[in-house]
A and B are shown apart, each in its own frame.
Chain A
Amino acid sequence: MTNFDAAVSAEDLTKRYGSGDALVTALDAVTVAFGRGELTAIMGPSGSGKSTLMHCLAGLDTPTAGRVWLDGSRHGDAGRVELSGLRDDALTALRRDRMGFVFQAFNLLPTLTAWENITLPLDLAGRRPDQSFADTVIDAVGLRNRLHHRPAQLSGGQQQRVACARALISRPDVVFADEPTGALDSRAGAEVLGFLRRSVDELAQTVVMVTHDPVAASYADRVLFLADGKIVDELREPSADRVLDRIRSLESAARGTRTVGVGA
């Protein structure tokens, strides 16, 4: 692993479920770092541990072993935090102030308007949104005239864009996106991906995105390939074709015939 400026890093991250015969090792001593200002995609067959890795990185799940650091240069030296051992309230505050999330679906609180959903993390922290930054984000996702709509009145793509705006509004150290386009058609998906890309290019945002779609992965600066809870390969400057090639070769290297890209 090259020694670059990492926003999130993990060392020997292991997660096991169950015990005895039913023991599943979802993550097997994963050591990884995600570069600041980069869009990193995590790919791998269904059940390879992508979601588990993301949940452990985000402090949503507790690893069986290993450590995770969140390193926010925006917060100075004090910005480097180790997640393991933090209590629930501290983790919650960390998620609220320093991470952003985009899930596959059901990202929004149905009773709040788009605007209220976007500013929710700030509201929870008792902070007021920086109006000019908020304007930038809202214009970037193109939701200016939808701000007072409830989620039920928005299309799936619009809902995902609201979720993206919300993830960015607090200028987090890292945005985690788990299959953000999984439930969208290709056009809406492209909009969301384009938006994430621009947040990296224009706002220097760090984004970690789980996906099974080679096209989605091609928006990334770097693609990590996960199989059986291990990082098995990595690709920089990917194109959809190169990603697909790499998947094919990994597939043939692996024994058995697992299909990539079914389910999350």
Chain B
Amino acid sequence: MLRAMLRDLRAHLGRVAMTLAAIVLGVAFVVATWVVSDSAAATVSSGSYRTDLAAVVESRPKTTTDREIPVEVVARLAALPGVTRAEGVREGYAALIGTSGKIGTTSFAETAGTDWDDSQRFALTSGRGPQRTGEIALEAQAAAEAGLTVGDPARVLLGGDRSDTATVVGVFTYRATGWEFDPAVAFDADTATRLLRDRDLPPTAVTGFARIELSGADERAVVAAATAALGAGFRVESGSDLREKQAENARSDGDVIRKALLAFAAVALLAGVFVIANTFTMLVTQRTRQFALLRAVGARRAQVRRAVLTEAVVLGLVGSTLGVAMGVGLGLLAMRLLPVVGEVAYVVSPWAVLLGYAVGVIVTIVAAYGSARRAARVSPMAALRTDATVPRRSLVLRTVVGLLAIGAGAAMVAVTSPEDLTEPKRILAMAGAVLAWFGVLLTAPILVSAVLAPLTRLLRKPRPVTRIALRNAVRDPRRTAATSSALMIGLSLVCAFSTVGQTLSTETTAQISSAVPENAVVLRAAAFGTLDDTAGAAARAVPEVTALAAPRSGGVEVVAANGRSSDTEFTSLDPAAVGSAIRPRITSGGSDLRRGVMLAQRVGTELGVKTGDQVRLRFPVEGDSPATVEVPVTVVGLHEGSDLLRGQLVDDALVPSGVYRYGDSMYAVGADASVLRGALERAFASRPDVLVQDREQLLDDLLEPYQLVLGLVYVLLGAAVVIAVFGVVNTLALSVLERTRELGVFRALGASRALVRQTVRRESVVISLYGGVLGIGVGVLLGGVMQYVILANPVFGMSVPWLTAGVALLGMGLVGVLAALWPARRAARADILAAIATE
């Protein structure tokens, strides 16, 4: 029995190979994901543990600004018993100035400068450490971003608005401890003492150490001694605690990566399940007569079922083995190609291998189970018929469940509303969307007949090729549905994310476009920094500037006359610039900040405050003892808050001194935009930390992160699409095999080889386009719910990503053509004589 089956499998090696390939791809992606996340986690933590640390001392700051340790503390600590070495570490503002004259973005500039020492903090990858003024060493990634290597001259922007030119003498990788950021630039100790300080500290200010690192054989003794010596103003952490914290961080970083990647692997796997199940079904269907013969000669149903399942297990095991091997290879290759500087760890855990096998075998068995049951139900009589088919369960149950899922999902979304979108409701709406998405997968076969069948009638006089292609596509709706569903899975998610991205970027664009005049020049702090007062003064000093909006935000409590209050934000700016250099979106009242405050609409609604009412603004004032200052003010209007103008808008002059506020952008307008821009570029030529841009560039910069994330998402979802494309090839190839006879008749009746190829190609394009249209439609709707859940916009308020949709549709057309290449060639080679011979 089994031997007969296996021999039969061997006789159909081509079909077996196609099933195997589907399993291999699915398994490979899962295993590769696991390997990449293991390796990534290991890379994050590998080799960066320092063994030379007994303890680290930091000051416990009273305020956020004063946290440096006086230099003389080092000598006190060095003298303690058990301490073999005490090393003060400096941190200060430093940023490499690139060829554009502006600073780069790789490092957190506030702490990117440090002093070189020969501890394990630094691991040189080339050159040597800096020894005198005029020499620096660079962190590898920062050096790569600035395009600098050993021997190059480099310009560094420093605190106190100075810049320094030095020669790069070494490139290093950094071993960070605890929460420390990697620095970008290391100076020799003397130069560091002279140059390194916070961004806004004057060059003359005396600076201290950010922390002190202690070495010593007995860690506990060192910690105890240091704690006793320093008292309450300092925090002493042991080296092993720091290492443990760091390992924990690495683990959780690795976990985050793994979870994200596995979500994508799951999607690819789902597409794989469809492909494998479909291929299996075809494999069984094509052997109907063989099963019937087995039954006729006395095989019991259970035996046939078991035989098919055994076949699935064998294929699953073989496919998993190949898939695991390919996945490990792919994963390691991906780690090689990742832009990681320094040591890359390659980890293949037993879990990756086990998971690969589990997935491959279980998925194959699940996929084959239905086929096995159907194969067992083949009647022995079928052996006598030449047109015997495997009995199939009716689609009624599946369709009903699918429609119910769609209905329930839609209802779950519908019961929530944008006005009152709490966390549980967001989850409910998202779950509804996912449920409806599965519903569509279930109803896909009915959809195939419902959509494609009328198409033949719509085309008034279809050429025979088109007619036959369309008819073949709807011939077995399940098969077409499974094939296009696999495509739909990946594609709908691509389109959903694209819709969210598009909506976000449309919103951002609308916000910026309405707030910033088109001819405004935008001044922005580079590298996620902030703009200081001198930048504002410098801009105002440019004669071409007719109005300058320099919004700066901070925290404020708004207290209404009715006693209600709200902890929120304020943004202060020059009243003269409101309406000219920046335009709030006014929802009621006016915008003259000289006469009072503009409340954010949300706050106005929350407090029940209207235009003309009085409110008190309670500002926190910084200082040794926290205090607040209250300012009574009239509400002149309400506005729709935005990222540019956050919270309550007030006159610069209204904000009491000592209130912390910061801004990272300024907007200038003048008579002639290009003249203005030229003037501002000249004025800020000596400010590497300030970018001079127009509105378009600002938008590009703001939208770039979305594009990057979306790009990554597309690449990861690409795996699901690739597997699905493979499914199209599978379906076509097996269909062609199944239709040898009719292809022969078709050829005998006068269809040329080219015509046969064209017929198969059309069928392929029809299936692919159908999957494409379904995927895009479902994806945009899913995206609508996703942006609703994220932004609380109306569901149908999403922006449709026409470009992505167009490209996807074109891509699917192309997929159709490419997937048909081989099956079409096979079909065209059909041997007429063999086809029309009556066995």
- State the A residues within 8 Å of B (CB): 51, 55, 60-61, 88-89, 92-93, 95-97, 101, 103-112, 116, 120-121, 123-125, 152, 166, 178-179, 182-183, 264
Bitwise, B735-750 to A at CB < 8 A (1) or not (0) is 0000001100111111
Closest to B747 in A: A92
What B residues does A166 contact at CB under 8 A? 749
Best-surrounded residue of A109, A110, A120 (most CB of chain B within 10 A): A109
6 A-B residue pairings within 8 Å (CB atoms): A89-B754, A96-B749, A101-B749, A109-B746, A110-B475, A121-B749
Q: How far is the CA of A82 from the CA of B526 in the complex (A)?
A: 82
What B residues does A123 contact at CB under 8 A? 463-464
Looking at the complex, which one of A55, A93, A96, A101 makes contact with B833 (CB distance below 8 Å)?
A55
Interchain CB contact under 8 A, A106 and B833: no
Looking at the complex, which one of A109, A112, A121, A182 makes contact with B750 (CB distance below 8 Å)?
A121
Looking at the complex, which one of A89, A106, A111 makes contact with B475 (CB distance below 8 Å)?
A111
> Are A124 and B755 CB-contacts (below 8 A) given A107-B745, A111-B475?
yes
Q: How far is the CA of A264 from the CA of B471 in the complex (A)?
A: 32
Is B752 an interface residue, CB under 8 A from the partner?
yes
Size category of the binding interface on chain B:
20 to 34
Interchain CB contact under 8 A, A111 and B472: yes
Interchain CB contact under 8 A, A125 and B750: yes
Q: Kindly provide the distance from the CB of B251 to the nearest chain A CB, expressed in whole angstroms.
A: 58
Is B826 an interface residue, CB under 8 A from the partner?
no
What B residues does A55 contact at CB under 8 A? 833
Looking at the complex, which one of B386, B463, B467 makes contact with A112 (CB distance below 8 Å)?
B467
Q: Kindly provide the distance from the CB of A49 to the nearest chain B CB, expressed in whole angstroms.
A: 14
Bitwise, B464-481 to A at CB < 8 A (1) or not (0) is 100110011001000000
Q: How far is the CA of A101 from the CA of B746 in the complex (A)?
A: 11
What A residues does B745 contact at CB under 8 A? 103, 106-109
Q: How far is the CA of A96 from the CA of B749 in the complex (A)?
A: 6
Interface of B is mostly: helix
Q: How far is the CA of A112 from the CA of B742 in the complex (A)?
A: 11
What A residues does B749 contact at CB under 8 A? 95-96, 101, 120-121, 124, 166
Interchain CB contact under 8 A, B464 and A120: yes
> Are A97 and B833 CB-contacts (below 8 A) given A106-B741, A106-B742, A109-B745?
no
> Are A97 and B468 CB-contacts (below 8 A) given A61-B833, A107-B745?
no
> Are A95 and B748 CB-contacts (below 8 A) given A112-B468, A112-B471?
yes
Q: How far is the CA of A86 from the CA of B38 in the complex (A)?
A: 64
Looking at the complex, which one of A89, A105, A121 makes contact with B752 (CB distance below 8 Å)?
A89
Looking at the complex, which one of B472, B748, B753 makes contact with A88 (CB distance below 8 Å)?
B753
Bitwise, B24-66 to A at CB < 8 A (1) or not (0) is 0000000000000000000000000000000000000000000
> Are A124 and B751 CB-contacts (below 8 A) given A55-B833, A60-B832, A109-B746?
yes
What B residues does A106 contact at CB under 8 A? 386, 741-742, 745, 836, 838
Q: Kindly provide the distance from the CB of A109 to the nearest chain B CB, expressed in whole angstroms.
A: 5
What B residues does A97 contact at CB under 8 A? 750
Q: Kindly provide the distance from the CB of B209 to the nearest chain A CB, expressed in whole angstroms.
A: 82
Q: Kindly provide the distance from the CB of A165 to the nearest chain B CB, expressed in whole angstroms.
A: 13
Given contacts A109-B745, A121-B749, 16 further A-B contacts (CB under 8 A): A60-B748, A60-B832, A60-B836, A96-B749, A96-B750, A103-B748, A104-B838, A105-B386, A106-B741, A111-B468, A112-B471, A120-B749, A121-B750, A123-B464, A183-B838, A264-B838
What A residues does B472 contact at CB under 8 A? 111
The 7 A-B pairs of least Cβ separation, nearest first, read A96-B750, A111-B471, A123-B464, A92-B752, A95-B750, A104-B838, A103-B836
Interchain CB contact under 8 A, A105 and B751: no
What B residues does A107 contact at CB under 8 A? 745
Closest to B470 in A: A111
Q: How far is the CA of A164 from the CA of B472 in the complex (A)?
A: 24
Q: How far is the CA of A107 from the CA of B741 in the complex (A)?
A: 9
Q: Kindly provide the distance from the CB of A244 to the nearest chain B CB, expressed in whole angstroms.
A: 24
Q: How far is the CA of A93 from the CA of B472 in the complex (A)?
A: 24
Q: Kindly provide the distance from the CB of B389 to the nearest chain A CB, expressed in whole angstroms.
A: 10
Q: How far is the CA of A178 from the CA of B387 in the complex (A)?
A: 20
What A residues does B747 contact at CB under 8 A? 92
What A residues does B754 contact at CB under 8 A? 89
Closest to A60 in B: B832
Q: How far is the CA of A109 from the CA of B475 in the complex (A)?
A: 12
What B residues does A96 contact at CB under 8 A? 749-751
Interchain CB contact under 8 A, B752 and A109: no
Q: How far is the CA of A103 from the CA of B463 in the complex (A)?
A: 25
Q: Kindly provide the distance from the CB of A149 to the nearest chain B CB, expressed in whole angstroms.
A: 14
What B residues does A121 contact at CB under 8 A? 749-750
| CB-CB contacts below 8 Å: B373-391 with A | 386-387
Looking at the complex, which one of B387, B468, B832 makes contact with A109 (CB distance below 8 Å)?
B468
Best-surrounded residue of B467, B468, B832, B838 (most CB of chain A within 10 A): B838
Closest to A101 in B: B748
What B residues does A264 contact at CB under 8 A? 838
Closest to A264 in B: B838
Q: How far is the CA of A121 from the CA of B749 in the complex (A)?
A: 6
What B residues does A152 contact at CB under 8 A? 387
Closest to B463 in A: A123
Q: Kindly provide the distance from the CB of A148 to the nearest chain B CB, expressed in whole angstroms.
A: 12
Interchain CB contact under 8 A, B838 and A110: no
Q: How far is the CA of A95 from the CA of B832 in the complex (A)?
A: 12
What A residues does B742 contact at CB under 8 A? 106, 109-110
Q: Kindly provide the distance from the CB of A253 to the nearest chain B CB, expressed in whole angstroms.
A: 29
What B residues does A116 contact at CB under 8 A? 464, 467
What A residues does B475 contact at CB under 8 A? 110-111
Best-surrounded residue of A96, A125, A179, A182 (most CB of chain B within 10 A): A96
Best-surrounded residue of A60, A101, A111 (most CB of chain B within 10 A): A111
Q: How far is the CA of A88 from the CA of B755 in the complex (A)?
A: 13
Q: How far is the CA of A159 from the CA of B836 in the complex (A)?
A: 15
Closest to B743 in A: A109
Q: How far is the CA of A88 from the CA of B752 in the complex (A)?
A: 8
Closest to A125 in B: B750
What B residues does A109 contact at CB under 8 A? 468, 742, 745-746
What A residues does B833 contact at CB under 8 A? 55, 60-61
What A residues does B467 contact at CB under 8 A? 112, 116
Q: Kindly provide the distance from the CB of B328 to the nearest chain A CB, expressed in whole angstroms.
A: 45
Q: How far is the CA of A166 from the CA of B745 in the complex (A)?
A: 12
What A residues does B468 contact at CB under 8 A? 109, 111-112
Closest to B756 in A: A92
Q: Kindly provide the distance from the CB of A162 to the nearest chain B CB, expressed in whole angstroms.
A: 12
Closest to A98 in B: B750
Q: Kindly provide the distance from the CB of B746 to the nearest chain A CB, expressed in whole angstroms.
A: 6
Closest to A179 in B: B838
Q: Kindly provide the distance from the CB of B287 to the nearest chain A CB, expressed in whole angstroms.
A: 19
What B residues does A120 contact at CB under 8 A? 464, 749
Bitwise, B443-470 to A at CB < 8 A (1) or not (0) is 0000000000000000000011001100
Q: How far is the CA of A7 from the CA of B753 in the complex (A)?
A: 27
Q: How far is the CA of A111 from the CA of B745 in the complex (A)?
A: 13
Q: How far is the CA of A179 from the CA of B745 in the complex (A)?
A: 15
> Are A93 and B750 CB-contacts (below 8 A) given A103-B745, A110-B742, A111-B471?
yes
What B residues does A89 contact at CB under 8 A? 752-754
Q: How far is the CA of A124 from the CA of B468 in the complex (A)?
A: 11
Q: How far is the CA of A120 from the CA of B742 in the complex (A)?
A: 13
Q: How far is the CA of A104 from the CA of B468 in the complex (A)?
A: 23
Q: Kindly provide the distance from the CB of B618 to the nearest chain A CB, expressed in whole angstroms.
A: 78
What B residues does A105 contact at CB under 8 A? 386, 838
Q: How far is the CA of A199 from the CA of B747 in the complex (A)?
A: 25
Q: How far is the CA of A60 from the CA of B833 in the complex (A)?
A: 7
Q: Kindly provide the distance from the CB of B824 to the nearest chain A CB, expressed in whole angstroms.
A: 16
Q: How far is the CA of A127 from the CA of B391 in the complex (A)?
A: 40
| CB-CB contacts below 8 Å: B469-498 with A | 471-472, 475
Bitwise, B83-116 to A at CB < 8 A (1) or not (0) is 0000000000000000000000000000000000
Q: How far is the CA of A97 from the CA of B750 in the complex (A)?
A: 8
What B residues does A93 contact at CB under 8 A? 750, 752
Bitwise, B808-839 to A at CB < 8 A (1) or not (0) is 00000000000000000000000011001110
